[in-house]
Amino acid sequence: QNPSPEALVKLRELIAQDAKVSVEEALFFAKVIGKSQDDLLTAFLWHAEVRDAEKQVLGFDCDKALTRLQKYCEAIKDPKIQELYETGFTREEMKETATKIKGIVTVMEQPDKEGRVILMSQIKRINFAELTYEKWKSWIRYFLIVFHCLIFDEDGRKEGVVFVNDYDGLPFFQLLSLQGKVDKDVQSSVQSLMMGAMPLKMKGFYLVNAPWWIEVPAKIILPFLSKKLRERVFFVSKRWRKVYRNVAEQDRWPTDVGGTSGVSIDDLPTKKLDALAALGQVNISNSNIGWDLGFRVRFLAVHQLAGSAFRA
């Protein structure tokens, strides 16, 4: 069931009583991808759904939706988020970035066994030698838009997203080469926005073939994270068996990662990601997009365990 008109009315009433929430500011990303205020508030209600033991939707917790919206409003006002878009982000940049990430990050065409959107990344395909700060920033900007599109996607908003990050063949010196190419403050702000503020359900993080210098620090950090997050992080061997069992059958995956679909990563359909990226171009012009939307703002795509695609 979708959030009722009554739930929207109640959430609006709560917003009207809360000085921390500015719906106009919160609408920035939504307007860029052609969505209305009702669309955005509905996304926050979906994030605050209440289900029974059989996972049937019982209703929507408006107070929880308001709390998430408060965090979101605070996060998008972060100066580091604003700086990402202060020079605008054109359709041409969006298309160019989409071309460059092909084969590195893929949104699978069909959802997984539980209806979740599958986002797969192949870290070894990144050309670290050619990576620059500007290119890294373009990737961040691109994925922030795509992830905002996902909160309005039928599968994404209802069941969320599961991340499958393959680190196979990633040597330690590649990590060292990122020095000076990644702004850690921006990275931290983006992670806070995505993990703690956006109304996007991040349902699983599968770290496949993670080298020791990722796995060991991650396992040290895990005990200090929430129980819910700990239960959603999985370390997977080269055989991918846990991914096949929990996410999607082996015949859904490309041959490059041991799948039996008969299709390589380079030949995987990209309709899902293309559709999301196209949605993100609705209101983007060649001038500063903040000005295009008619109000003076300059800003508008995981936690360290799921943020490899962004850090690279």
What's at 260, amino acid-wise? Answer: T
Q: How confident is the model at residue 253 (pLDDT cuts 50, 70, 90)?
A: very high
Q: How confident is the model at residue 312 (pLDDT cuts 50, 70, 90)?
A: very low
pLDDT value of residue 304: 33
More confident residue, 118 or 170: 118
Q: How confident is the model at residue 280 (pLDDT cuts 50, 70, 90)?
A: low
Q: Are 163 and 302 in contact (CB under 8 A)?
A: yes
- Residue 23 to residues 19, 26, 282, Cα–Cα distance (Å): 11, 5, 20
What's at 94, amino acid-wise? Answer: M
Token output for 116: 């979740």
For residues 45 and 55, give the distance between their C-alpha atoms in angstroms, rounded to a whole number: 16
- Longest CA–CA span in the chain (Å) reads 56
pLDDT value of residue 299: 25
Q: Are 141 and 300 in contact (CB under 8 A)?
A: yes
- Computed over every residue of the chain, the mean pLDDT equals 83
pLDDT value of residue 300: 27
31-35, 67-71, 88-92, 160-164, range with the lowest pLDDT: 88-92
pLDDT at 310 over 50: no
pLDDT at 296 over 60: no
The beta-carbon contacts of 212-221 under 8 Å, at least 24 apart in sequence, are: 213/172, 213/175, 214/167, 218/304, 218/305, 221/304
Residue 122, classified by CB atoms within 10 Å of its CB into exposed (0-12), middle (13-18) or buried (19+), is buried
Pairing, β 57-60 against β 105-107: unpaired
pLDDT in tens, 41-82: 999 999 999 999 888 889 999 999 999 999 999 999 899 998
Nearest to 62 by CA among 149, 4, 147, 148: 4
pLDDT in tens, 184-234: 899 999 999 998 899 999 999 999 999 998 899 999 999 998 898 899 999
Residue 62, classified by CB atoms within 10 Å of its CB into exposed (0-12), middle (13-18) or buried (19+), is buried
pLDDT value of residue 14: 95
Look up residue 260 and give its DSSP letter. -
Look up residue 287 and give its DSSP letter. S
pLDDT at 286 over 80: no
pLDDT in tens, 105-162: 989 989 999 999 999 999 888 888 888 888 899 999 989 988 998 999 888 988 999 9
pLDDT at 271 over 80: no
pLDDT value of residue 39: 94
Q: How confident is the model at residue 277 (pLDDT cuts 50, 70, 90)?
A: low
Sign (positive/negative) of CA torsion 280, 285, 286, 292? negative
- Residue 137 to residues 66, 81, 86, 274, 310, Cα–Cα distance (Å): 30, 11, 12, 20, 9
The owner of tokens 């936690």 is: 303
Q: How confident is the model at residue 24 (pLDDT cuts 50, 70, 90)?
A: confident
pLDDT at 246 over 70: yes
The string of DSSP letters for 137-155 reads HHHHHHHHHHHHHHTTSHH
pLDDT value of residue 108: 92
pLDDT at 36 over 50: yes
pLDDT value of residue 274: 76
